[in-house]
Amino acid sequence: MLSCEGDELRKNAHTRGICERRGRWGWAFVLPSLVFFGLFSIYPVLNALYLSFFQKHLLSTAPPKFIGLGNYVYLFHSPAFWNSLRATAIFTGGAFSLLVGLSLILAVFITSRRKFQRFLQLAFFSPAVVSTVVAAAIWLLIFDPRGIANQLVNTIAGTPGVDHNWLAAPAMLQLSTILVYVWKYVGYFTIIFITGIGSIPRSLFEAARVDGASVWQTFWKITFPLLKPTTLLVSVMAMIQCLRTFSTQYFFSQAGSPRAPIDVITLNVYYTAIRNFQIGRASALSLILFAIMLLLSWLQFRLARSEEVSYL
C-alpha cells in the first residue's frame, strides 16, 4: 500500500506526486466543513473578541466606542460577574459529576442486561430529543408548589403540606436546574459509554471470567481502565455542555424564580445583551466563558494523557 509518510515519500518523486494529488482532493473534501466551521464558529468568536473592546448599545446606529479593556475591567469589579462565576461553578460541579457518574453506571447496567437493552437505551435517551421549551414546561409543572415534586417528597418523607420551594429557595433552585439537566442529557452520554463498552474486546471479559474475576473486579480492572478514552470524551463534552447551560435557567427565571442563584454566565450574557443592550460587555463575558472552557478542556486532556492504559 502506498504510504504518504516518511522516507518513501522523500525518496520517490512519483509517490510524492500521487500524494500531492491525494492531498489536494483531501483539501477539497474538507473545505466545505472548514468554511462552515470558520463562518459559524471562528468568525463569531473573532467578532465577539473585537466587540469586547467596544462600548456599544444594541439598538444604537452610532459607531461603537473603543474602550480597550474597559469591559473586562468592569466585569472583574462587578459583584454580578462573580456571582455568575459562582452559579456556573455550582451548576457545572453538580451536573457534570452526576452526568458522568450516572451515565457510566447506567451504561454498565444496560450492557449487562440480556434483555431490553434497546428499550432501556431508548428510554434513557428520549429526554435528549425533547425540545428544551417542552422540557422546561414539564419541569415547571413538576416543581410547581402544587406539583408532583412536593407530593412525591412529602409522601416519601411523611411531611404532608411542606413546600420544598423548588423554584424559590436558592439551594433548591440550583438543585432543580441540575436535576432537569441531568434528566435531559444523561441518556445521551449513556449511549456514548455503551458504544465505548462495546468496543472493548469480548475476549478480555471472557478471560477475566475464566480467571474467576468478580463483576466488581472486572469493572475496575478491565471496563473502567479501557473506557478511559470514552470517559475523557464524555467528560470534555459534558463539561462544555454544562458550562453552556442556558435554557433551563432562562425558563425558570422567566417563570418567577429569583435570578441570582441560577445566574450562570450564559444567562448573564443574555441579560447583559438583550435586556441591558450592552453588547460589548456581553461579548467580553462570553469570551471569558470561552477561555474557561478552553482551560478546563486542556486540563482534562493533560490529566487523561498521563494515565493511558492498553492491554493489547
Partner 1 sequence: MKRVAWIAVALLAMGAVALAANPVKITFWTHEDPNRTPLEEEYIRRFEALYPQVKIERVTYPSAKIAEVLLTAFAAGQGPDMFNLEINDAYPYLVMGRVAPLRPEWVGYPNVDTILGAYLEGTLDPVYRDGQLYGLPLELTIWSVFVNKKYFREVGLDPDTDYPRTWEQMMEVSEKLVIREGEIIKRRGFDFRYPYYLEELLPMVEQLGGAFLSEDGQTAIINDEAWLQVLRYLQQWGPLGKNLGSPTYKAARSLFNFDRNEVTMCSSGFYQIARIRNDNPAFYESGEWMVIPYPVFENAVRDMAAHYYGHYYMVNAQSSRETQEWTWRFIAYMLSNPEEYLTKAGLIQPRKDLLASDVYAAQPFGDVFAADMARSSMVQLHVANPEFKQLLDDAVKAVMLQGVTPEDALATLRRRANEVLAEYK
Task: Return the axis-axis angle of helices 79-112 and 279-305, rounded to nearest 10°.
Answer: 40
**Distance separating alpha carbons of residues 266 and 10, to the nearest angstrom:** 51
Scanning residues 177 to 196, which ones bind partner 1 (CB under 8 A)?
none
CA nearest neighbour of 92 among 81, 82, 104, 100 = 100
Ramachandran assignment for 116, one of left (phi > 0), alpha (psi -120 to 50 degrees), beta (any other): left
E strands along the chain, which residues? 54-55, 65-66
Which of 98-106, 189-197, 259-267, 298-306 is the region at the interface with partner 1 (rule: CB under 8 A)?
259-267
Confirm or reject binding of residue 139 to partner 1 (CB under 8 A). Answer: no
Among 142, 187, 242, 259, binds partner 1 (CB under 8 A): 259
Q: Which is nearer to partner 1, 24 or 146 (CB)?
A: 146
Scanning residues 37 to 56, which ones bind partner 1 (CB under 8 A)?
none
Confirm or reject binding of residue 59 to partner 1 (CB under 8 A). Answer: yes
Which of 4-12, 39-47, 88-96, 168-176 is the region at the interface with partner 1 (rule: CB under 8 A)?
168-176
Among 126, 254, 301, 311, binds partner 1 (CB under 8 A): 254
Contact 282, 291 (CB under 8 A): no
Confirm or reject binding of residue 144 to partner 1 (CB under 8 A). Answer: yes
Q: Which is nearer to partner 1, 34 or 141 (CB)?
A: 141
Query: In a 10 Å sphere around its CB, with 0-12 CB exposed, 13-18 middle and 19+ buried, how is residue 212 labelled?
Result: exposed
**Distance separating alpha carbons of residues 121 and 111, to the nearest angstrom:** 10
List contacts with partner 1 (CB under 8 A). 57-61, 80, 144-146, 150, 160-163, 165, 167-170, 254-261, 271, 274-277, 279
